Structure formats: C-alpha cells, structure tokens
Structure 1
C-alpha cells in the first residue's frame, strides 16, 4: 500500500506501441461492459497524444463486439489546449475523430472544456468548466487515462508550475505552458485523484527517463506523474522503449 492507503502501482510492458494500444483498448472495453452490467454509467477521463490516438482508433475497431452502450458513458478530458473549437490541436477534436463519433457517443455525454470562441479568459473558462463538472460529473472517474510527457507532466500539470499547488479547484487555467500552445485548461491534482482506476499510457524512448524517475522516488514538483494514483488500481502501460530505463 502507498502512504495514502492506495494499492501499489502495477507495471505492464508490451513489446510495441501497437501491442500496447491493442491491450489497453481491449481492457478498456471490457471494463466499460462490466461497469454497465453492474448498473453504472461509467465516468471516463481521456487524454491526448500519439499513443492515446492509437488506443482510441483501436477502441473504435474493437467496439462493435464489445457490447458497450455508448449512450451510457460520460467522457471528460484531463486537459485541453485553449484554442479555437475547431482547432485540430484540441484533444476533444482528436478523440471525436478517432473514436467518439465513430462509435456513436451522444454529444451530451462528451464534456469538452471551453474554447477561445467562448470569449472568456483562460481562468474564466476553467471556472466555467468546473461548474459544468459539478453539475454533470459523478464526483470521480471510474477510469482515468493519463499520458506522460518527457518532463514527467500529466494533463497540463507541468514541473514547477503553480497549478501543482491548486487547492479547492476542479480545473484551472495555465499560461506560459512550456509546451505549445501557451494557454491551456487542466484538471487539478485534487480532481484527478478522485479516480478509482488510473492508467498511465506511455510509449517511446523519449519518455523512458520520466518513467524511470516516476518509479524512483522523484517528487511531484519534479515529476507530476507521481501525484496521481487510483483508489483501487494504478497501472502503467508501457512499451519496451518507455520501460527501457526501469
């Protein structure tokens, strides 16, 4: 058990990124089906990035045989680039194109963070989204998927940035992001920690240092990925390259 009473993290290594994507997609669909069979409407936190897109496309490929009712799943995004609603940089747009639209998830089940079209400042947009989460969220993620950057960031929680210290907030704005675009909206640690199952999805040699540091006692300030664990499960899904320095 960890210091906060959560189970220790598991590590699952796959030979290739393709094998990783296939394994995660299959497990995801199985978990959704099980949650729905128990009478739940699963609340899911999605992430962006190359490996996430591969997983999303694999979900779409496997979905017809899954038995999942896509009208009874709530989808959120761990963070979002604060750009125009139709920008190809938005995580929501990428996920819609890769699988949400293809499998038929209704719009009211996809909870996007605001875009610059709203006319709000990034902080105002984060506050508005937080109110949406309070109205429509279940209070916790059943499954939260997180990518990890080469610097160890998750969502848009970057090493040394003030958002790491956010308290009593669901989502906050980010300015001056070290990774473009400079403005983003992100869930806070407090919100992300309200997850039953947390899956880290990491592919590529460029992430190997961050993965190794996350498992060798690095602080949250140094490697923000160390700051989130699931209450019942935390699994790091890695390919061989990402696991090469463990």
Structure 2
C-alpha cells in the first residue's frame, strides 16, 4: 500500500508557491540518485501558477534540466499556438525560460492539424511514451505525475461516467465529447497514472471541496476519477483550506 499524505495550505497563492518549492526539491533529490527524470505536468490555474513560481525561484537553476523529461497528463486538441493549450501556457510560464532544457525533452501532446484526427494523435503520444519505456511496459518510469482536479472530481481528461475514461490497456487515449470544452482532448490513462512513483493531486477553491472529499473517500473511479489517482510509492494531496472544506 502506497503512502498517502494530505497537506493543506492557507490559500491558492501559497499552495502554488509551496508546490513549486516542493517540485524543485523533488527534482534535486531525484537527480542525486538517478537520471533521467520523467515528470508529467498539469495545466489549470494552480498548475500554471506553480510553473510560474518555479520560474521565479532563485534555485531553479540548481536543477540539471538536461536530465529532466517533461510530459503532460492531458491536453486540449487545438492548433499549435492556441493559448488554451496547456503546452502553450507552460511554455510562457516556465519552459521558455529554461535555456538548458533541451527541446527534445519536452514531450507535448500532438496539436490539431487538418490531416490528423484526435484518435491518431493519441496513438502518436502512446508511441512517444513507448519510445522512452525501458522495461517493456510501454510506459516511461514516471518519477512524478502532477494532476489538477475539477469540481466534478475529474483528473487529466478522465471524466466521471465518461466511456473514454475507463479505457484500460492503453497509454494515451482520445477523449470525445468532453463535458468540459473543448470537446476533443488527449489524456493519459489510469494505467500510466498508477504506474508513477509519486502522484500529486493539486486543488484549490471551495468548489473543489466535495471532489476532495469524494477522492479521499476512495469512491469508485467511474464516479470520482481522482480517487484512482495514486502513485506506487506515494500520493500527495496538496490543497488549500477551502478545497479541504476548512472554510
């Protein structure tokens, strides 16, 4: 049974700052014993604020970014440069400032193109994941997967009672008819999420409180997908007081 910790911060700003500091420390600690490191990023307000806080940190350059591979838990299937893409927001917040991070280490999910369907895009990302898997599983050895969470308890683009969310035996899937716009998305599956050494669930805001409660109660993943978001070694719930239902 993996370890589960719940850490509550006063507000969303403090949460983002704390997650950023924790992330930098995590990378430095991992690099003292292994390389490369594989991390999946998340979007959302707090997720992007976390990356911006990393960019502002005076110790970010202590990380050897040449040995870090960055992936995404999910992505909106939109054209290159669209500001709603997690990739674009992450580049603006942090990645463009990391001059030592090789572009080849940034594994963005495919962008929408006229000759590319969302299903084919998901297959391309599955192939990219397999390219960095060394144990025959088809999944890289993820050190950490960061996940935001919606008020409906979804993580990545795995939504409650949505048929695409229950896919098994796959690494990345196409999501059709997403209940949250845009309708077409790409997402990692639970097969990948649950293979990570650590999973951090990040949530802020009173509208997330019910979902946090559902996840911690370990309801069925069809009802509360976040309940199935756990790492093989450790799962952290990093929340603010309102998401924790304390205000």
User: What is aligned with 1:128?
Assistant: 124
Gaps of 5+ in 2: 135-139
**d(CA) in 2 for partners of 1:123 and 1:65?**
36
For residues 36-75 of structure 1, the aligned pairs below 5 Å read 36-64=31-59, 67-75=62-70
CA contact (8 A) 2:204 2:240 kept: yes
Task: Give, in angstroms, the shift of residue 106 of structure 1.
Answer: 1.9
Structure 1 unaligned spans of 5+: none
Which secondary structure does the structure 2 equivalent of 1:195 belong to? coil
| Corresponding residue for residue 28 of structure 2 | 33
Residue 181 of structure 1 corresponds to 182
- The worse-fitting range, judged by mean Cα deviation, of 65-74 and 178-187 is 65-74
Deviates more, 1:62-71 or 1:200-209: 62-71
1:163/1:188 contact within 8 Å kept: no
Partner of 1:219: 220
State the Cα deviation string for residues 95-141 of structure 1 (Å, max 9, x = none): 11100111222210100111112621111110111011111356221
Q: Does 1:115 align with 2:111?
A: yes
Tell me the distance in 2 between the aligned counterparts of 1:237 and 1:197.
13
Alpha-carbon RMSD: 1.5
Q: Could you give the per-residue CA deviations for residues 152-210 of structure 1, whole angstroms, max 9, x where no partner exists?
A: 00000000111232121100101100000000000111011110011011011111110
Question: Are the structure 2 counterparts of residues 198 and 169 from structure 1 closer, same or farther at C-alpha, using a change threshold of 3 Å?
Answer: same
- Given that 1:63 and 1:103 are in contact with CA atoms closer than 8 Å, whether structure 2 keeps it comes out as no
Within 5 Å, which residues of 2 pair with 1:223-242?
A: 223-242=224-243
Q: Secondary structure at the match of 1:117?
A: coil
Q: TM-score under structure 1 normalisation? A: 0.94
